[in-house]
Structure 1
């Protein structure tokens, strides 16, 4: 598996810039987007679809044949419940032909890993996938250490996390970004309740003043990078 740049080029027409947590390509050519979501957001379902569309379409350039397109899968790791009326901690979605109940295509798959539903099971992981889910859930540090002993990749990820936490500058920047994001969520909710369209711009300006990277702000406001840059002027 090869890691790819996490930032896709802005769409020529709408200018929206897409930033992914992790993008990779398998040996078979399948493209993966793995994203960690700490909080639910407005229109998250549509944003996920938009990201998938960019992930899929950016595999080819204008004039290239469609046969070059390979399956594109989105994997969302979520620290909140997302799929209603289901207790399964892993769900997947794809287009279905209603008349037959069969998939329209295998090129599109969306996977949702809901950490609260995993934690609700209150059991230890029994395979590699579950150990990774437990690592992201991170509710029991002793168990995570145990899983790290069983899986060298989890061990490497845990050591990288410890190095990050031990770096005071990185942790300060991290908590400043978290604080700005939390304030943004509260302000955006208030703006939606009162119907104030200017609320979104206010949120973006607050995040800019808190030194949140401009590439991250579209993820929380729905504004394009060019719109956010205009707020700086």
Structure 2
């Protein structure tokens, strides 16, 4: 379906869903792929879900005819430190007895780094696990070891074989391949820029702390010098001698002597 949702007023940019589809059952599906944690993904996904779900009412005019809306977020970063599972699914349940309020809301998060970690530990079998097989196909362009394993599976799986054939067709289309590579480079540049900004912020914080410590030491040393100067003036030492030993300005020693009197 048309994935253009709306146009933001301030800049005129389009907000686009990666995949916006409608199943034969009439259910709506939004699939998003995010490579950087630059948005509040939890609230963002609720916003997109509500926009798609709410748009149904404008067309049907009946709450009873509103269909299930499913959001699937595929992430190249960790979102839930609470779990080591790579796939988290959310629905509307009652707090205590866990019965379902309605099935119209379904939100999935797939954390690809956790899935890759499981595959690298040989904790999943791609021959038997179809879901993991198709998800790791997203990594096959960058991981030759994953690609080889999936190509072997594709020899027995006609649907995956079709996916690989279409990938090969894409690579032979210069215009499409250039578009793909340009998009990939733009994503990498964005990630590098975000990482560079983090490094600069960390350096600024460290330099600020170091500067604060230096200023703290300098002020502490000055207060100590003033205490010594007071004692020397009380003992009757000359202004010049006090200034020489404490390394304080002569004008400051003169003001200090006036305060003592």
Report the CA distance shift for 1:29/1:103 in structure 2 as closer, same or farther (over 3 A): same
1:191 and 1:60 mapped to 2: Cα distance? 48
Q: List aligned pairs for 1:6-155, cutoff 5 A.
A: 6-10=3-7, 17-61=14-58, 64-121=61-118, 122=122, 123-125=124-126, 126-138=128-140, 139=143, 140-155=146-161
Which structure has greater helix proportion? 2
The answer (yes or no) to whether the contact 2:36–2:191 under 8 Å persists in 1 is no
Describe how 1:150-169 pairs up with structure 2 within 5 A.
150-166=156-172, 167=174, 169=178
Aligned length: 189
**TM-score of the superposed pair, with normalisation by structure 2:** 0.62
Higher relative contact order (CA 8 A, sep 6+): 1
TM-aligned CA distance change 1:6 to 1:92, over 3 Å: same
Tell me, yes or no, if the aligned pair for 1:131 and 1:147 is still in contact at 8 Å.
no
Distance 1:190 1:49 in 2: 31
Gaps of 5+ in 2: 205-261
Question: Are positions 1:173 and 2:182 aligned together?
Answer: yes
SS for the counterpart of 1:27 is: coil
Alpha carbons 1:40, 1:80 under 8 Å: kept: yes
Farther off after superposition, 103-112 or 174-183: 174-183
Q: TM-score, normalised by structure 1?
A: 0.68
Report the structure number with the largest CA radius of gyration: 2
Alpha-carbon distance, 1:144 to partner: 1.6
Mapped partners of 1:105, 1:30: distance in 2: 14
Q: Is the 8 A contact 1:164 1:171 kept in 2?
A: no
Query: Which stretch has the larger CA shift, 15-24 or 142-151?
Result: 15-24
> What's the RMSD between the two structures over aligned residues?
3.0
Counterpart Cα distance in 2 of 1:93 and 1:178: 28
Instruction: Structure 1 unaligned segments of length 5 or more: list them.
Output: 195-233
